[in-house]
């Protein structure tokens, strides 16, 4: 038993180290495609954010620049180094938690394929944007999905609240909570679950709304309405996951219930992004990878389904 425990500990340690390496690779690919990291733009934007004098949607993401600023002040490192540390740590943890999250449904090999694919999509979505909320968004999103699945309601609310301080995409998760736990046989039970979902998400919703209100006089980066241009660019959505869309959706009814409900939520995730986002910035779709990719592997490789499935 001790030998087995040591073996599992060693395997988990190597998994973490591999995830750290993947995070390192994605970081270098990000920097290679983002001149703004190296030409002084990163430092200038950070200075504006700390002075509370930047655009509304970025200014409202407090942890995006608050954590690097804390690292600068506490550790005495440069702004660029602080953003590097933030990106490496949060990406490593997001990949590691994703691997653990998948153990219920997929054997370790297939789960690791999903992790590598997620890292690939991080790199694939990189462009010359300073969207430094993305690494922590990945970690908090997958952490909230785990808490949602395990019915750890208090932890779910806390993670969504913390994540909301970094990126408003987290406000989607209370709706997913409703879909994931809804009881189709009882309307009254579903209403109670909906009310619970609202209560769990309310701290994050109110906090984000208050922050946005405080910075209401700041302009919105890129404007706040993009529906027409996004509808003309829906190919970017289809091409982002490509074949994995088809694999995930081709046998929806055979999937575990959690994946079924998560896939049903996708249109509701896309609609607000189609309205106010720029859908060709495909990093917006990265949170969907946490259920599109495992659903695709679960369907495609039935022999790789975990014995823990329930």
Per DSSP, 39 falls in state S
CA gap 301, 102 in Å, rounded: 14
Output the pLDDT for position 261. 94
Output the pLDDT for position 9. 79
Two structure tokens written together for 185: 């046989």
The answer to whether 126 touches 282, Cβ cutoff 8 Å, is: no
Task: Show pLDDT as tens, one digit a residue, over the chain (310 residues).
Answer: 566 566 667 888 999 999 999 999 999 999 999 999 999 999 999 999 999 999 888 899 999 999 999 999 999 999 999 999 999 999 999 999 999 999 999 999 999 999 999 999 999 988 888 889 999 999 999 999 999 999 999 999 999 999 999 999 999 999 999 999 988 778 888 899 999 999 999 999 999 999 999 988 888 766 667 788 888 888 888 899 999 999 999 989 899 999 999 999 999 999 988 888 888 888 889 999 999 999 999 999 999 998 654 4
Residue 267, domain member (yes or no) = yes
DSSP string, 197-227: HHHHHHHHHHHHHHHHHHTTTSPPTT-S--H
Residue indicated by tokens 């579903």: 190
CA gap 159, 136 in Å, rounded: 11
60 three-class SS: coil
Residue 127, domain member (yes or no) = yes
Would you give the end-to-end CA distance of the chain in angstroms? 25
Per DSSP, 279 falls in state T
The answer to whether 247 touches 299, Cβ cutoff 8 Å, is: yes
The answer to whether 163 touches 90, Cβ cutoff 8 Å, is: no
CA gap 236, 243 in Å, rounded: 13
Residue 131, domain member (yes or no) = yes
Residues across the chain: 310
Residue 243, domain member (yes or no) = yes
Question: How many Cβ atoms sit within 10 Å of the Cβ of residue 168?
Answer: 22
The range of the structural domain enclosing residue 25 comes to: 2-304
Residue 139, domain member (yes or no) = yes
The answer to whether 141 touches 47, Cβ cutoff 8 Å, is: no
Residue 310, domain member (yes or no) = no
Max CA separation in the chain (angstroms): 62
Output the pLDDT for position 275. 87
270 Cβ partners below 8 Å, 6+ apart?
237, 279
Strand segments (E) across 6-117: none
Cα–Cα distance list, 110 to 85, 104, 248, 296 (Å): 29, 12, 14, 11
Identify the sign of the CA torsion 298, 302, 304, 310: positive
Output the pLDDT for position 235. 87
Two structure tokens written together for 154: 């208090």
Calculate ∠ Cα 67-176-55, nearest 5°: 40
Residue 309, domain member (yes or no) = no
How many structural domains are present in the chain? 1
Nearest to 123 by CA among 239, 34, 2: 34
């Amino acid at each position: 038993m001790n030998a087995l425990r040591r073996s599992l500990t060693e395997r988990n340690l190597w998994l973490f180290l591999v995830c750290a390496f993947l995070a390192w690779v994605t970081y270098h690919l990000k920097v290679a495609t983002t001149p703004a990291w190296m030409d002084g733009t990163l430092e200038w934007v950070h200075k504006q954010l700390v002075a509370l004098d930047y655009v509304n949607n970025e200014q409202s993401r407090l942890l995006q620049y608050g954590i690097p600023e804390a690292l600068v002040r506490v550790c005495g490192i440069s702004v660029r180094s602080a953003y590097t540390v933030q990106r490496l740590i949060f990406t490593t943890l997001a990949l590691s938690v994703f691997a653990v999250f998948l153990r219920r449904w997929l054997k370790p090999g297939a789960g690791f394929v999903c992790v590598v694919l997620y890292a690939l999509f991080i790199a694939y979505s990189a462009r010359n944007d300073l969207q430094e909320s993305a690494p922590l968004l990945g970690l908090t999103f997958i952490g909230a999905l785990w808490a949602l699945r395990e019915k750890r309601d208090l932890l779910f609310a806390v993670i969504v609240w913390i994540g909301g301080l970094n990126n408003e995409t987290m406000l989607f998760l209370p709706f997913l909570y409703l879909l994931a736990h809804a009881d189709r046989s009882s309307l009254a039970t579903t209403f109670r679950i909906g009310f619970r979902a609202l209560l769990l998400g309310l701290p994050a919703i109110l906090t984000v709304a208050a922050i946005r209100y405080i910075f209401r006089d700041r302009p919105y980066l890129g404007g706040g309405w993009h529906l027409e241009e996004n509808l003309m660019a829906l190919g970017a959505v289809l091409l982002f996951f490509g074949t994995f869309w088809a694999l995930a959706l081709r046998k929806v009814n055979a999937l575990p219930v959690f994946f079924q409900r998560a896939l049903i939520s996708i249109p509701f995730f896309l609609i607000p992004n189609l309205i106010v986002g720029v859908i060709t910035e495909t990093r917006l779709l990265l949170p969907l990878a946490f259920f599109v990719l495992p659903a695709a592997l679960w369907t495609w490789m039935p022999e790789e389904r975990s014995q823990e499935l329930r």
